[in-house]
Chain A
Amino acid sequence: MKFSPLVQELIDSLRCLPGVGAKTAQRMAFHILERNRHGGQKLAHTLALAVEEVGHCQQCRNFTEQDLCSICQSPKRQFIETLCIVEGPADVIAIEQTGEFQGLYFVLMGHLSPIDGIGPDDLGLDILTQQLADGQFKEIILATNPTVEGEATAHYIAELAQQYNILISRIAHGVPMGGELEFVDGNTLSHALNGRKSYQP
């Protein structure tokens, strides 16, 4: 059996979302049409608006519909001379939720991965270099993921930043909270051992 063209098109369009296959798309489409037309309308409106309006913050490259995102605009944060460099917008939220960091962010929107064709030019490193050259920051925190690619990215940025007389730090990696040593993989554990800190009672 075939669906009418418009229904079919809706199903096909929904499949552009990650994790949505043919069946899921079908279920979503029917749910909107059968039960929640109002929600569907709202979704369509917001989606169109967001795709149209949302761009990158001029300073940190995070997603925003303004020129500067709310974090970069915040007057409180201007005085804290620390910049945290992360791979994606989700990382910003994660760090914000800890409440530990009050400074500004820089979002790379990816990591260096030569095989995927992502080079230094794709990560907005020219904007970053410009900001570092302005002398606004005393410290940068490299908070890229603890993967081989993330490590490469961190190292590349550290090399860029070296000439600007800035303190460069890297987030620690090791055993997660509530984790059990016996289940932690060897790579993580050797990192944890190599990066151990002196312990004051």
Chain B
Amino acid sequence: MEPIEQLAFVLHSRPYREHQQIVELLTKDDGKVSAIVYSGKTNKSNKKGLLQPFCPLNVLLKGRNQLKNLSRIEVSEKSYLLKGNHLYSGFYLNELLVRLLGEMNTCPDLFNNYQLSLSLLSQKQPIEPILRKFELDLLDELGFSLDFSPVFEQAAKSFYYVPEEGFIPNTEKLRLPLFKKEHLQAIGQQHLSDADVLHSNKLLMRHIFNGLLDGKPLNSRKLFTKQK
């Protein structure tokens, strides 16, 4: 199959040998891909300026192995300029993707959501709703979609979230965080304007992602917590 140009974002890059880099890309057609690229030392061939996160690129990936060769890179649009907490949020998105998303799984929806999230972040929109929306989309993509139907159907006032089981009413005592019914209903309907709902949503996502990450903390979170 002849490779075609596609849109991509650099999630992370690390140096490889003297003049090369291994980059992890989120591409529109192939999902997450690792690729080797010659990053050059001279001014004219230096691609490091292009290989920055949050910059929409047109790339051509070659090779049959899992590790591709990045043969053509061009900027497709203006880079999303993120600042401060919005920039840290961008790192947070990248870290989630690098750590959780499998390689070479097509995920055009997630790609679009990622791009949309970056664009909202660059417009300095409120951070939390953007992140929460993206986290839900990522869960869908990973096959851990949240089923909110028990929250609407059952009478209990509050619910636990149990991995692989979903929401269960608090009839028995479990050593898990408890979420209020009305908050979960609001999250299920994506009504994220209330501060308490957002807070519950944050705790819920943190609980779920902690489980997915085997309890290893996310480093980008440290950037936020230090300032308070």
Contact partners of A188 in chain B: CB under 8 A:
49
Of B75, B88, B91, B98, which contacts A186 at CB under 8 A?
B75
Q: Which of A51-59, A66-74, A146-154 contacts B (4 or more CB under 8 A)?
A: A146-154
Cβ contact within 8 Å between A114 and B222: yes
- How far, in whole Å, are A126 and B39 apart by their CA atoms in the complex? 34
- How far, in whole Å, are A114 and B50 apart by their CA atoms in the complex? 20
**Closest Cβ–Cβ distance, residue A80 to chain B (whole Å):** 29
Contact partners of B44 in chain A: CB under 8 A:
183
Size of the chain B interface, CB-CB below 8 angstroms: 33
Contact partners of B54 in chain A: CB under 8 A:
148
Contact partners of A155 in chain B: CB under 8 A:
83-84, 87
Closest chain B residue to A158, Cβ basis: B84
A40 on the B face (CB < 8 A): no
A115 on the B face (CB < 8 A): yes
- How far, in whole Å, are A186 and B95 apart by their CA atoms in the complex? 26
Contact partners of A151 in chain B: CB under 8 A:
87
Contact partners of A152 in chain B: CB under 8 A:
87-88, 91, 223
- How far, in whole Å, are A115 and B75 apart by their CA atoms in the complex? 23
Contact partners of B122 in chain A: CB under 8 A:
none
- How far, in whole Å, are A115 and B11 apart by their CA atoms in the complex? 9
**Closest Cβ–Cβ distance, residue B64 to chain A (whole Å):** 25
- How far, in whole Å, are A151 and B92 apart by their CA atoms in the complex? 15
| Contact pattern, A 102-140, Cβ under 8 Å of B = 1, otherwise 0 | 000000000010111111110000000000000000000
**Closest Cβ–Cβ distance, residue B58 to chain A (whole Å):** 12
A187 on the B face (CB < 8 A): yes
Cβ contact within 8 Å between B226 and A120: yes
Interface residue SS majority, chain A: helix
Cβ contact within 8 Å between A176 and B43: yes
Q: Which of B12-20, B155-163, B201-209 contacts A (4 or more CB under 8 A)?
A: B12-20
Contact partners of B95 in chain A: CB under 8 A:
114-115
**Closest Cβ–Cβ distance, residue A146 to chain B (whole Å):** 8
**How big is the A interface, by class?**
20 to 34
Cβ contact within 8 Å between A114 and B75: no
B55 on the A face (CB < 8 A): yes
Closest chain B residue to A151, Cβ basis: B87
B173 on the A face (CB < 8 A): no
- How far, in whole Å, are A185 and B44 apart by their CA atoms in the complex? 9
Given contacts A114-B223, A117-B219, 9 further A-B contacts (CB under 8 A): A114-B92, A115-B98, A121-B222, A155-B83, A156-B223, A183-B43, A185-B49, A186-B78, A186-B79
26 A-B pairs within 8 Å (CB atoms) are namely A18-B18, A19-B17, A112-B223, A114-B218, A114-B219, A114-B220, A114-B223, A115-B94, A115-B95, A117-B219, A118-B219, A119-B223, A120-B222, A147-B52, A148-B52, A148-B54, A151-B87, A152-B88, A155-B84, A159-B84, A176-B43, A179-B43, A183-B44, A186-B75, A187-B49, A187-B79
Query: Hey, which bits of chain B sit against chain A, CB under 8 A?
Result: 11-12, 14, 17-18, 43-44, 48-50, 52-55, 75, 78-79, 83-84, 87-88, 91-92, 94-95, 98, 218-220, 222-223, 226-227
Query: Hey, which bits of chain A sit against chain B, CB under 8 A?
Result: 18-19, 112, 114-121, 147-148, 151-152, 155-156, 159, 176, 179, 183, 185-188, 190
